[in-house]
């Protein structure tokens, strides 16, 4: 049996859908889940140490991606630190 078949046929595997928006990529490095939207890291979550940093209000699309990640990874609200807090809303727009 292949690895995919093993996972697909296992009822104990919890499915987590991580939706993505256009030009967003999600990756894992050293146990930290990152999301890059265009050229900006907008999300970092260290699952083992329960630390999550976001860059909220850079753009409506980035906010949507952050929401998808928080929900998809079941990030507790109490550990989320917004690095853009107290900065101008929509302070970033993608390069043209």
User: In the chain, at which residue ranges do the beta strands (DSSP E only) sit?
Assistant: 24-29, 32-37, 40-46, 51-54, 80-82
Residue-wise pLDDT for 12-43, tens only, equals 555 566 788 899 999 988 889 999 999 999 99
Closest CA to 15 of 76, 69, 73, 67: 73
**Higher-confidence residue: 86 or 1?**
86
Mean pLDDT score across all residues of the chain? 83
Residue-wise pLDDT for 50-62, tens only, equals 999 999 999 999 9
The average pLDDT across 78-91 equals 80
Q: Are 47 and 80 in contact (CB under 8 A)?
A: no
């Amino acid at each position: 049996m292949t690895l995919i078949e093993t996972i697909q046929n296992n009822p104990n595997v919890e499915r987590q859908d991580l939706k993505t928006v256009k030009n967003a990529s999600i990756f894992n490095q050293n146990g930290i889940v990152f999301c890059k939207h265009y050229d900006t890291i907008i999300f970092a979550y260290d699952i083992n140490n329960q630390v999550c940093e976001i860059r909220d209000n850079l753009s409506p699309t980035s906010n949507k991606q952050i929401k998808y990640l928080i929900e998809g990874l079941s990030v507790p609200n109490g550990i989320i630190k917004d690095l853009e807090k107290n900065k101008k809303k929509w302070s970033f727009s993608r390069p043209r």
